[in-house]
Amino acid sequence: MHFRSFEDIDLAGKRALVRVDFNVPMENGQVADDTRLRSALPTIHYLSGKGAKVVLIAHFDRPKGKRVAEMSLAPIVEPLAALLGEPVAFSDDCIGPDARKVVNGLQPGGVALLENLRFHAGEEANDPAFIDALAANGDIFVNDAFSAAHRAHASTEGLARRLPAFPGLAMRHELDALDRALGHPDRPVMGIVGGSKVSTKLDLLKNLVTRLDKLAIGGGMANTFLYAQGHDVGASYCEKDLAGTAREIIGLAGRNKCKLFLPLDIVVADRLGPGVASRIRGLGEVDDDERILDAGPETVARLIRAMEKSKTLVWNGPLGVFETPPFDTGTNAAAQAAGKLCGEGKLVAVAGGGDTVAALNHAGVTSQFTFISTAGGAFLEWMEGKDLPGVSALKVR
């Protein structure tokens, strides 16, 4: 992909409309996790340091085109200013007279945050009139919100086609990491896909088996594959109606010379609960009242051996019900092995998706992985091989 770089232009005095992701967790009106604020700092600092007037635009929650007081971005201002070490102006609208007044009042290097984009229906509708109103407050557009890049909204796709457009530093870092994982990876490249449902990851699985050398399937979705191969899964969660689809994916993997790793053994229990008695079972040894809740030790050991023979790893989804020990054992062991290989310079490991980030945090390895994406839906759609409108619109045309 070829993108313009804002390092190549004179930014002094220019109004830089910067799309950021400030859809942060809130508790009692306070920012509970400032990770997304911090990720925007390098781009803000760079633009501000070059004398640009930095105008931040973002959404929060789903107000559905109406003004909802509880979904205002106003509570972001103070913690953002503290992180930046400089004041942040705020407009109670993202377009119109108040926004214009705040933007016009900025000095070169100044920073402003405009109110929630989604207070206007035109944002999600990618409405041309709303795009015009947003563009009136900018000379250039910088998209630093990869997490919103899978949406063709006014502030992601529309503005990029209306103003000179550039990816932000966080966006570029994410795109570079993803390119190393699937675009131009060092081979062999391996994937781990877990989670509960095959039905939510059909596009993902079908794309990956055409692009990877190896793919390990874990979590609840592995039960569907085991069932499709004729193994009894007892009382486990299983999408039995997708057995045919599972067999189709197995066939597709074979035709594309992608080696599939399905469980060799499993960890079962009569019920899900912290510290409940669990047992290791071979395939076909599951009792009718038992539930498969984690990958077994032989399965995990084989998976680790496969990682050791790989150069690149793409990970989405846990191997078991990691939130409830002892069913975190398989995920923890595999994640810690991947982290160790990364630390030794033997593996490039890129991971993403909500449950994945939580699982790797739980395993204590997030700092060891090459890159962990918090982009959620955008990360998944990228793994599925889909076009991301907010990225495509930034390409040099």
* Same domain membership, residue 281 and residue 378: yes
Q: Is residue 396 part of a domain?
A: no
Considering just the CA atoms, what is the radius of gyration of the chain in Å? 23
Q: Of 120, 138, 171, which residue constitutes the final position of a domain? A: 171
From 109, 354, 376, 385, the catalytic residue: 354
- Catalytic (active site) residue 259: no
List the domain range (segments joined by +) for residue 236: 185-383
* Same domain membership, residue 373 and residue 241: yes
Query: How much is the pLDDT for 354?
Result: 74
* Same domain membership, residue 198 and residue 97: no
* Same domain membership, residue 256 and residue 128: no
Report how far residue 103's alpha carbon sits from residue 363's, in angstroms, rounded to the nearest whole number: 44
Whether the CB-CB separation of 383 and 215 falls below 8 Å is answered with no
From 51, 96, 377, 385, the catalytic residue: 377
Specify the number of domains making up the chain: 2
Q: What is the pLDDT along the chain (397 residues), one digit of tens a residue?
A: 578 899 999 999 999 999 999 999 999 889 998 989 999 999 999 999 999 999 999 999 999 999 999 999 999 999 999 999 999 999 999 999 999 999 999 999 999 999 999 999 999 999 999 999 999 999 999 999 999 999 999 999 999 999 999 999 999 999 999 999 988 999 999 999 998 889 989 999 999 999 999 999 999 999 999 999 999 999 999 999 999 999 999 999 999 999 999 999 999 999 999 989 999 999 989 999 999 999 999 999 999 999 999 999 999 999 999 999 999 999 999 999 999 999 999 999 999 987 899 999 999 999 999 999 988 889 989 999 999 999 999 987 6
* Same domain membership, residue 200 and residue 266: yes
Q: Is residue 393 part of a domain?
A: no
Query: How much is the pLDDT for 374?
Result: 84
* Same domain membership, residue 110 and residue 155: yes
CATH code, domain with 274: 3.40.50.1260
* Same domain membership, residue 341 and residue 217: yes
Q: Of 137, 171, 205, which residue constitutes the final position of a domain? A: 171
Q: Is residue 117 part of a domain?
A: yes
Element holding 220 (H helix, E strand): helix 219-228
Nearest residue to 220 via CA among 285, 270, 291, 279: 291
Q: For 106-158, what is the HEC assignment?
A: CCCCCEEEECCHHHCHHHHHCCHHHHHHHHCCCCEEEECCHHHCCCCCHHHHH
* Same domain membership, residue 230 and residue 89: no
- Catalytic (active site) residue 191: no
Report how far residue 295's alpha carbon sits from residue 170's, in angstroms, rounded to the nearest whole number: 35
Q: Is residue 63 part of a domain?
A: yes
From 4, 197, 302, 386, the catalytic residue: 197
From 36, 172, 180, 291, the catalytic residue: 36
Q: Is residue 229 part of a domain?
A: yes
* Same domain membership, residue 349 and residue 205: yes
* Same domain membership, residue 190 and residue 166: no
- Catalytic (active site) residue 377: yes
Q: Is residue 179 part of a domain?
A: no
Task: Identify each DSSP E strand in 231-336 by its residue range.
Answer: 259-261, 265-269, 279-282, 291-295, 312-316
Q: Of 171, 198, 215, which residue constitutes the final position of a domain? A: 171
Q: Is residue 212 part of a domain?
A: yes
Q: pTM for this one?
A: 0.89
Query: How much is the pLDDT for 1?
Result: 57
* Same domain membership, residue 337 and residue 199: yes
- Catalytic (active site) residue 354: yes
Q: Is residue 389 part of a domain?
A: no
Query: How much is the pLDDT for 376?
Result: 83
* Same domain membership, residue 325 and residue 243: yes
